[in-house]
Structure formats: C-alpha cells, structure tokens
Amino acid sequence: MSSVPATSTSRGAQIGVRLRDRDLSAAPAALNLLESRAPRDREEAARLLHEVSPAAIGAEAPGHVIGVTGPPGAGKSTLLSALVQAWRDRGRSVAVLAVDPSSKRSGGSLLGDRARITYDPDDRQIFIRSTAAGERLGGLAAGTREAALALSAAFDVVVIETVGVGQSETDVADVADTVAVIVQPGSGDALQFLKSGIMETPDVLVVTKADLGQIAIRARRDLSAALRSLGARDTQIVPVSSVPPPTGIDDLIDAFDAHRDALDVPARRREARRAAALADFAVEHGERGMRALGGRRAAVRLLTEQDPSLDVPSLVAALERKAAA
Ligand SMILES: Nc1nc2c(ncn2[C@@H]2O[C@H](COP(=O)(O)OP(=O)(O)O)[C@@H](O)[C@H]2O)c(=O)[nH]1
Ligand SMILES: [Mg+2]
C-alpha cells in the first residue's frame, strides 16, 4: 500500500475531498471503501486518507473522536441514543461506528438482551454504522480505525462503540481522543480490572442505570475510591440514566468537552497514526518485516522521524521503503 497522488478521476480522492469539505453525505461511500480489503479499493482508500490527512487539511481533523467501551449489557447503546440526541440538540453532527462482536464467529450469543441505538433516520447530520470487529474481543478492524479518522474530518463528533472490559480498551485508546468506559451498577468486573491495573484508567468513567438508586450510588462510591487509590485524579466519574427521563447526559457531554479542551490533540493524533501504521505494517509483513526494520523499537524511531502530518498509508509506505532497503 502506498500513498498515490490524487487525480481528478480517483474515486477515493473525491470522497476524501467531500469529507474534507464537511459533506456528511460522503460518509456511506467512505465506509464502504475503507472497509473493503480488495487491493484496488485499498489504493483508493489510501487516496481518500491522504485527502483527510492533516497535511491536506492544514490542521488536525476537527471532529472529536470518542471511544465508548464497556461490557455487554452495561447500557452503551441505550446511552448512545440519548447522547446522539443531546449532541444534535447542541447543533453538532454525529457519527457512530458500533463495532459488532456478533458478526464474528464466536461471541454473539453472550450478549443477550441488547438495545439498538435509536435515532431520527431523516436527520442528515447523524450517521450510524455497525462494523465488524477485529481479531479479538474489543479489537478494532483496521477499517474502523481509518473510518473514525476519515469521518472526523466531516463530523463534529465521531463515536466508536466497542464491547469489552479489561485490555480491550487499548485498541480504541489508540484512535480516540477521549476514552469513556461504561460500567453498570453491581458489576464488580470493572472495579477489579481497575484496581488490578488490567484496565488502563479511562478518561471518563460512566456509571449507567442511575435510576436503580442505591446500588448505583454504591457503584459510584466504589469506583471513586478505586480511582483515588490509583491516584487517577483526572478521571471524571459521571452517573447517567438513559431511560426516560434521561439524567446526567449533559454532564457527560460536558465531561467529554472538558477532556478534549485539556488535551494536546495534535500530539495524541500523531501517536494514533504512528500506532496505526505500526499495526498495519505488522499485519501485512509480520515478524519478518519487523526484523527487516531492525525490530519494533527501530520501527517506532523511524516513525517519529517522519513528517508528523503524514497519513497512515504514507507512514506504512515509509516503513516498507526502509524494510526493502
Ligand atoms: N434501568 C435502566 N436500564 C437501562 C439503562 N440503560 C440501559 N438499560 C437496559 O440495559 C440493557 C442493556 O442495554 P444496552 O444499551 O443494550 O447495553 P449494551 O450492550 O452495553 O449496548 C437493556 O435492557 C436496556 O434497556 C438505564 O439507564 N436504566
Ligand atoms: Mg450495544
């Protein structure tokens, strides 16, 4: 995969330019292209990504990429229905990429009673798409990561919803500006993972089902104590209820905004692109490719020497040139 100069006839470049011009109607075509693994489509995808790179935009893409992750049944989809509505009430456009583990061979049945994200299908400023999961539970397919980056050129908010608790957040942390872990009252897992350090401290911790009363209050208190003992002072805990009448939704949006305002977005995005390039290179060229680069550390060093505004395919191409040299 290489970064190819765009021509006026290139399908990928045209979609990329539309996203860069904040044409939201380009989203479905962008997703179809980025999720395709056909070699011809990969070339067009590289052209698309080039058009939405910081080099082409002249800045980092304006959208706020938010990872929403948590175990099945925690209330993610129900919460997102309320969040999407609240963001729209604030005049923001929203894209949601829901990573669907049931489309994998295993896992579908463990999810039980699941809500779908409900939204106004006639609202052109909302784009919601279920996408296939990557290799492991909570893992992101390369196409999902690329899609989030591309859509953040056009949409004000881009959410990636993933299922998992524990180490699975790290994938989404590689691409999101802000990571929210969603837990429901009475589930000890998140608390244990947090205490034991298996789970990285999220940027925002959301306790759902606040309408359940005492049990929700206790969950919040336990999580708060765990965060304190970890010295994680920057993580906000936000209790929400997503069933009508929803509560805490505006506080949650404020918490997301506050996190982003305090963030060095260019630095985080740069790291995300490097991590993505390294992952893509490893998938394509395996251990042998990594050895040709002189190991992982050398690969990371090479990436940090590249122009920081380069898109992921261009970074992969730089690694490939080096490996072939
Ligand atoms: N009482 C209550 N139930 C909720 C709330 N949010 C979600 N649920 C219920 O919890 C179950 C799982 O919700 P869902 O959104 O599908 O969870 P997900 O698997 O994390 O996406 C569903 O039966 C929801 O109706 C809430 O705020 N309060
Ligand atoms: Mg769900």
Q: pLDDT tens digit string along 208-220?
A: 999 999 999 999 9
pLDDT tens, residue by residue, 111-157:
456 778 999 999 999 999 988 766 555 567 778 889 999 999 999 99
Is 4 inside any structural domain?
A: no
Percent of the chain with pLDDT over 70: 89
> Of how many residues is the chain composed?
325
Whole-angstrom CA distances from 261 to 87, 151, 276 are 17, 20, 24
* Domain carrying residue 110: 64-261
The better pLDDT of the pair 57, 275 is held by 57
Which two tokens mark 84?
């999407």
Ligand 1 contacts CB of residue 4 (under 6 A): no
In this predicted model, what pLDDT tens digit does every residue of 252-276 receive, in sequence order? 999 999 999 999 999 999 998 998 8
Counting from 1 in the atom list of ligand 1, the atom nearest the Cα of 78 is 15
Within this chain, do residues 93 and 34 fall inside the same structural domain, yes or no? no
Q: Does a structural domain hold residue 1?
A: no
- Asked if 189 and 298 sit in the same domain, the reply is no
Query: What mean pLDDT comes out for the span 274-294?
Result: 91
290 and 198 in a common domain:
no
pLDDT at 87 over 70: yes
Confidence tier at 314 by pLDDT (50, 70, 90):
very high
**Same domain assignment for residues 73 and 40:** no
Query: Measured in angstroms, how far is the CA atom of residue 154 from the centroid of ligand 2?
Result: 25
C-alpha–C-alpha distance, residues 39 and 281, integer Å: 15
Evaluate whether residue 3 is within a structural domain.
no
Mean pLDDT of the chain: 88
Pick the residue whose CA is nearest to atom 9 on ligand 1.
Answer: 75
pLDDT at 110: 47
Q: What is the mean pLDDT of residues 1-17?
A: 74
Same-domain status, 106 and 185? yes
Are both 51 and 75 inside the same structural domain?
Answer: no
Given a contact cutoff of 8 angstroms between Cβ atoms, the answer to whether 34 and 150 are in contact is yes
pLDDT value for 109? 42
User: Are residues 198 and 128 located together in one domain of the fold?
Assistant: yes
Rounded distance from Cα 162 to ligand 2 centre (Å): 8
Q: Is 2 inside any structural domain?
A: no
Q: How many domains does the chain have?
A: 3
150 and 130 in one domain?
A: yes
Whose alpha carbon is nearest atom 5 of ligand 1?
A: 209
Say which residue, 145 or 101, is predicted with more confidence. 145
Q: How confident is the model at residue 106 (pLDDT cuts 50, 70, 90)?
A: very low
C-beta of 102 in contact with ligand 1 (< 6 A): no
Cα(323)–Cα(309) distance, rounded to whole angstroms? 22
Instruction: Let me know whether 99 and 166 are in one domain.
Output: yes
Of 254, 213, 215, nearest to 86 by C-alpha is 254
Region 176-186: mean pLDDT is 92
- Using an 8 Å Cβ cutoff, are 241 and 208 in contact? yes
Cα of 73 vs centre of ligand 2, distance in Å, is: 7
Say yes or no: 160 and 225 in one domain: yes
pLDDT value at 169 more than 80: no
The pLDDT confidence band at residue 168, using thresholds 50, 70 and 90, is low
Q: How confident is the model at residue 279 (pLDDT cuts 50, 70, 90)?
A: confident
Distance 264 CA to ligand 2 centre (A): 30
Query: Can you tell me which atom of ligand 1 is nearest the CA of 116?
Result: 16
pLDDT at 288 over 90: yes
